Chain A
Amino acid sequence: DSGVTQTPKHLITATGQRVTLRCSPRSGDLSVYWYQQSLDQGLQFLIQYYNGEERAKGNILERFSAQQFPDLHSELNLSSLELGDSALYFCASSLTSDYEQYFGPGTRLTVT
């Protein structure tokens, strides 16, 4: 158990819908990262937050957005879902950008 929690574990939804994935970082960690894991793309960085502020963006689609709240939990919002968005979405946290990242159990999203 890494100390990073993610909900829900599984999510099945239809194309065109919107979903919200939630992540709680390890106690004391200020940085939160979101990654997408798919068979064809591998592990891709989506977005990073540090202490409530967006720090860096990776290969995140415009249909996706995220935020980090004052209690440091983070949410990833995926809208206008397409079949190709089906993937595992991982959240990771670290004390700051300079420290190792610990990963949550992931949310498996299936878009039908």
Chain B
Amino acid sequence: AQSVSQHNHHVILSEAASLELGCNYSYGGTVNLFWYVQYPGQHLQLLLKYFSGDPLVKGIKGFEAEFIKSKFSFNLRKPSVQWSDTAEYFCARRNYGGSQGNLIFGKGTKLSVKP
């Protein structure tokens, strides 16, 4: 079965620190990858996506992610975090099997940014 794993359960950073959240996906099928963010009490918002092409993907709010096929990784990065980035971050891949298109999510990484 396809899967996504996120390495860090909880990351605590100070404002202006650089961020990198790890994500690994399982081998197999077409690879469509996503990062979503969930602010406290809110719904999931799409940060960025990778379907094909340039492996360095830029998203909203200054986030970017790099698709490294050889490592089955899709890590999320931001050069300088702000207090407002405090949220939970989910990596996901699309499930390709038959006519399915649902997302398979990692367990999420909670980011706390100290002012």
Residues of A whose CB lies within 8 Å of any CB of B are 2, 31, 33, 35, 42-43, 45, 48, 50, 55-56, 58, 90, 92, 94, 96-98, 100-106
In Å, the complex CA distance between A43 and B88 comes to 12
Least Cβ–Cβ distance between B52 and chain A, in angstroms: 12
In Å, the complex CA distance between A96 and B101 comes to 8
B36, B43, B49, B105 pick with most chain A CB within 10 angstroms: B43
Least Cβ–Cβ distance between B99 and chain A, in angstroms: 5
Assess whether A56 is in contact with B98, with CB atoms less than 8 Å apart.
yes
Contacts of A105 in B (CB 8 A): 42-43
In Å, the complex CA distance between A45 and B2 comes to 13
Do most interface residues of chain A lie in helix, strand or loop, or is the interface mixed?
strand
Least Cβ–Cβ distance between B16 and chain A, in angstroms: 30
Cross-chain contact of B108 among A42, A56, A58, A101 (Cβ < 8 A): A42
Assess whether B43 is in contact with A106, with CB atoms less than 8 Å apart.
yes
Cross-chain contact of A2 among B45, B98, B102, B105 (Cβ < 8 A): B45
Number of A-B contacts (CB under 8 A): 57
4 closest A-B pairs by CB: A97-B101, A43-B105, A56-B100, A45-B102
In Å, the complex CA distance between A103 and B92 comes to 13
Which residue of A is nearest B36, CB measured?
A: A103
In Å, the complex CA distance between A104 and B46 comes to 12
Which residue of B is nearest A31, CB measured?
A: B101
Cross-chain contact of A90 among B44, B98, B101 (Cβ < 8 A): B44
Contacts of B46 in A (CB 8 A): 100-102
Least Cβ–Cβ distance between B12 and chain A, in angstroms: 20
Assess whether B42 is in contact with A97, with CB atoms less than 8 Å apart.
no
Q: List 5 A-B contacts (CB under 8 A).
A: A42-B108, A48-B100, A50-B99, A56-B100, A103-B45
Contacts of B43 in A (CB 8 A): 2, 90, 103-106
Tell me, yes or no, whether B113 is within 8 Å of chain A by CB: no
In Å, the complex CA distance between A47 and B9 comes to 27
Which residue of A is nearest B98, CB measured?
A: A56
